[in-house]
């Protein structure tokens, strides 16, 4: 049994090959930790030309995805599983903004159904009576929900136990939550005259840890003040900001 099963309803299943077959997600699927099923909901259009969209009632430009193929694709999932899925997420610009906290919440589920629209709107009855959740990945306009679904699956899958090497997992825990990363360097010590900070070569692990935390705090305060308010820092971290670590 996989830790998480994801059914993705899309008109463009081919868009997902690559992101889902390579690297960490591909490996998680091969290991059986993650099951991803791509379901082309055009297969559930009963009309002769397998049409999945139609003109909007009331007029206006653009087409609207019809409700029947999406409802019937979910019926198919329910019959396959012998129960109706509990979490059906519509990817759409009107959804709640995706965030690490939402990824953590979704990583606790056993089964997710993701619905991707493309180009156009979705009949409101899908939103109201089929989807149980709506997610947007940010305030910019995409051509469809597919890339958003890939982002959500990627962010959720890497939280499943066994998906990442435990090295990365440990690092995440030790460095609480949503700070920006400290600067990292590898060999060579000098490249084109650009050098590595002396502290990292010092072998003084206490000083290195303090420098890294100081750098992460400074970067976060400067670049992402929305993530961290100076006032919320512990007295130790406020003191650390004033240390000269090299």
Task: Please name which of 102, 122, 101, 100 lies closest in space to residue 112, comparing C-alpha atoms.
Answer: 102
Closer of 150 and 200 to ligand 9D3 (Cβ): 150
Report in angstroms how near the CB of residue 119 gets to ligand 9D3 at its nearest. Answer: 7
Least separation in angstroms between CB 5 and ligand 9D3: 21
Residue of the chain from 142, 169, 196, 218 that contacts ligand 9D3 (CB under 6 A)? 142
Q: Which candidate, 128, 148, 124, 126, places its Cα nearest to that of 137? A: 148
Nearer to ligand 9D3 (CB atom), residue 74 or residue 90: 90
Judged by CB under 6 A, how many residues of this single chain contact ligand 9D3? Answer: 14
Looking at the DSSP bridge assignments, the partners of residue 136 are 97
CB of 111 to ligand 9D3, least distance (A): 20
Site for ligand 9D3 (CB under 6 A): which residue of 59, 141, 166, 232? 141
Q: Is 15 in the site for ligand 9D3 (CB under 6 A)?
A: no
Of 136, 156, 163, 216, which lies in the binding site for ligand 9D3, with binding defined by CB under 6 A? 136
Q: Which regions of 3-120 does DSSP assign to beta strands (E)?
A: 4-10, 34-40, 53-54, 64-65, 88-97, 111-116
Angle value at C-alpha 141, between 181 and 227, nearest 5 degrees: 25
- Of 137, 150, 153, 216, the residue at the interface with ligand 9D3 (CB under 6 A) is 137
Q: What is the dihedral of CA 177, 180, 186, 190, to 10 degrees?
A: -160
Written as six digits, the tokens of 138 are 């940010």
Q: Which stretch binds ligand 9D3 (CB under 6 A): 15-23, 89-97, 125-133, 196-204?
A: 89-97
Largest Cα span, the chain: 73
Nearest residue to 159 (alpha-carbon basis) of 213, 102, 97, 113: 102
112 binds ligand 9D3 (CB under 6 A): no
Interaction of residue 36 with ligand 9D3, rule CB under 6 A: no
Which of 56, 144, 55, 52 is closest to 92 using CA atoms?
A: 144
Nearer residue to ligand 9D3 within complex by CB, 97 or 168: 97
Residue 93, interface with ligand 9D3 (CB under 6 A)?
yes
Contacts of 234 by beta carbon, 8 Å cutoff, 6+ apart: none
Task: List the one residue from 14, 32, 138, 246 that touches ligand 9D3 (CB under 6 A).
Answer: 138
Q: Which stretches of the chain bind ligand 9D3, using CB under 6 A?
A: 91-93, 117, 121, 136-138, 140-142, 144-145, 148
């Amino acid at each position: 049994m996989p830790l998480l099963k994801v059914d993705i309803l899309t008109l463009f299943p081919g868009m997902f090959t690559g992101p889902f077959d390579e690297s960490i997600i591909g490996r998680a699927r091969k290991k059986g930790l993650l099951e991803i099923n791509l379901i082309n909901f055009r297969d559930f259009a009963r009309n002769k030309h397998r049409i999945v969209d139609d003109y909007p009632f009331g007029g206006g430009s653009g087409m609207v995805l019809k409700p029947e193929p999406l409802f019937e694709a979910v019926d198919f999932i329910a019959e396959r599983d012998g129960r109706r899925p509990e979490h059906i997420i519509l990817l759409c610009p009107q959804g709640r903004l995706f965030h690490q906290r939402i990824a953590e919440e979704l990583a606790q589920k056993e089964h997710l159904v993701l619905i991707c629209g493309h180009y156009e709107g979705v009949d409101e009855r899908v939103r109201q009576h089929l989807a149980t959740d709506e997610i947007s990945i940010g305030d910019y306009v995409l051509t469809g929900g597919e890339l958003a679904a890939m982002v959500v699956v990627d962010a959720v899958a890497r939280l499943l136990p066994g998906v990442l090497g435990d090295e990365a997992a440990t690092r995440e825990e030790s460095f609480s939550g949503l700070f920006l990363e400290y600067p990292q360097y590898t060999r060579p010590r000098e490249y084109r005259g650009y050098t590595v900070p002396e502290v990292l070569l010092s072998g003084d692990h206490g000083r290195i840890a303090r420098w890294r935390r100081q750098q992460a705090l400074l970067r976060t305060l400067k670049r992402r003040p929305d993530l961290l308010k100076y006032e919320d820092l512990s007295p130790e971290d406020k003191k650390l900001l004033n240390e000269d670590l090299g």
